[in-house]
Structure 1
Amino acid sequence: MAELLFTVGYEGRSAKALATRLHEAQVARVLDVRASARSARPGFSKGPLAKALGAAGLAYAHLPEAGNPFFAEAEADLAGVLERYRAHLEAHPEIVRAVREAARGERTALLCAEANPARCHRSVLAAALVADDPDLRIVHL
Structure 2
Amino acid sequence: MKRENNAVLVATIGFAGKSAQNFFDLLKSAEVRTVLDIRLNNTSQLAGFAKKQDLPYFLEQLCGAAYVEMPELAPEPDLLKRYQAKQLKWDDFTAEYVELIAKRRVESTLDVDLFRSACLLCSEHLPHRCHRRLAIEYLNAQWNGRMTITHLS
Equivalent residue, structure 2, for 1:29: 34
**SS of structure 1 residue aligned to 2:119:** strand
1:112-131 matches, within 5 Å, as 112-131=122-141
Structure 1 residue 68 and structure 2 residue 79: aligned? no
**1:42-84, Cα deviation, whole Å (9 max, x unpaired):** 2221011222112111111111221011221218622211211
Count of residue pairs brought into register by the alignment:
139
TM-score (structure 1 length as normaliser): 0.87
**SS of structure 1 residue aligned to 2:13:** strand
Separation in 2 of the partners of 1:117 and 1:17? 17
**1:29-51, Cα deviation, whole Å (9 max, x unpaired):** 10001123123132221011222
Equivalent residue, structure 1, for 2:104: 92
Pair 1:62–1:6, CA change in 2 (3 A): same
User: Which among 12, 17, 25 is matched to residue 12 of structure 1?
Assistant: 17
Q: Which amino acid aligns with 1:136?
A: M
Separation in 2 of the partners of 1:35 and 1:46? 11
Q: Which amino acid aligns with 2:142?
A: D
**Cα root mean square deviation, aligned:** 1.9
**1:74-116, Cα deviation, whole Å (9 max, x unpaired):** 18622211211011112111x2344445725x41000000011
Q: Are the equivalent residues in 1 in contact too, given 2:8–2:113 (CA < 8 A)?
A: no
TM-score (structure 2 length as normaliser): 0.81
Equivalent residue, structure 2, for 1:38: 43
Q: Which amino acid aligns with 1:60?
A: Y
State the identity %.
27
Show structure 2 runs of 5+ residues with no match.
none
TM-superposed CA distance for 1:16, in Å, is 2.7
**SS of structure 2 residue aligned to 1:110:** strand
Equivalent residue, structure 2, for 1:137: 148
